[in-house]
Amino acid sequence: MDQGAKIPFQGLLFYTPGMLAIILANICTLLGHVNGAHGVASGVVVDPTAEFFEIDDLYVLCTKPPACLLFRQDNSKHVAFEDLEAKEIPVFPIERSITIKGYSIRRKQVPICPGFSLTDYKVQGSTLKTAVLDLKDDPTVKGQTEHKKFCSTYVQLSRLQSLDGLYLLQAIDMKDLRFRPHEGLLAEMERLHQLEEETIRAWAKR
C-alpha cells in the first residue's frame, strides 16, 4: 500500500473476503462513513472490463479498481440498502490528482485499506475493547521527540476501555514510558484549567 506524504492516495487495493478494513476518506460524515472508520470488507463487485492474472495459490492480480467494495461498518448509522445485509454499504472508487516530480497524475481506487494493524495516528477517535500495543521505545527512529513519544503513548493507551483489554507486543520497562509533553502544551493546559476555575466561580456568584 503505497501511502505517504508524497503519494497521499493508494494505488493498490489489497482485498481478501472478511478482512478487517478501514476507510481512508470522508464518504458521508452524517452517517459516520468517515476517514478512520473501522469495519469488515464483506464483498467486492469487480469491474466487468478488468483482467485477472493468477500470481500464485494465494494471490490474484486484477488490472482495474473494483466497481465497488462492500463494507460492513462497526456502529453504522445508515438505513439498510436494498439487497444488502444490515450495516453493509457500497464504497465506490474515487479519483484524485497527485503531483510526482512535476507531473500531475490521476489515481482511481476504493478508499479502503486492510485494518489488521493501525498507527497511533489512524486509531485516534476509536474506542477499543482489546488491543495489542507496541510501547517499546526505539531510540534509533528519527524525528521522534520526547513530546511525540508522549503523545503516541497517550493516544494508544487512551483508546482502550479498560486495562483488562491491554496486551503488549513486547516487554517494556519504565524508561519506555517516561516521556513528557512539550512545555508549551503544559502551559496551555494550565491556562485552560485556570479559565475553568474562574468560570465556575463566576457562575457560582450568579
Per-residue pLDDT of the chain (206 residues; tens, 9 = 90+): 334 444 555 677 888 999 999 988 888 888 788 888 889 999 999 999 999 999 999 899 999 999 999 999 877 776 677 888 878 889 999 888 878 788 888 888 899 988 888 888 888 878 888 999 999 999 888 888 999 999 999 999 999 999 999 999 999 999 999 899 999 999 999 999 999 999 999 999 88
- Of the candidates 70, 88, 91, 74, the one whose C-alpha atom is nearest the C-alpha of residue 38 is 74
Per domain, the residue ranges of the chain are: 4-114, 120-204
CA max distance for the chain: 75
DSSP string, 119-158: -TTTTTT--BS-EEE-----TTSTT--HHHHHHHHHHHHH
First to last CA, the chain: 58
Write down the pTM of the prediction. Answer: 0.69
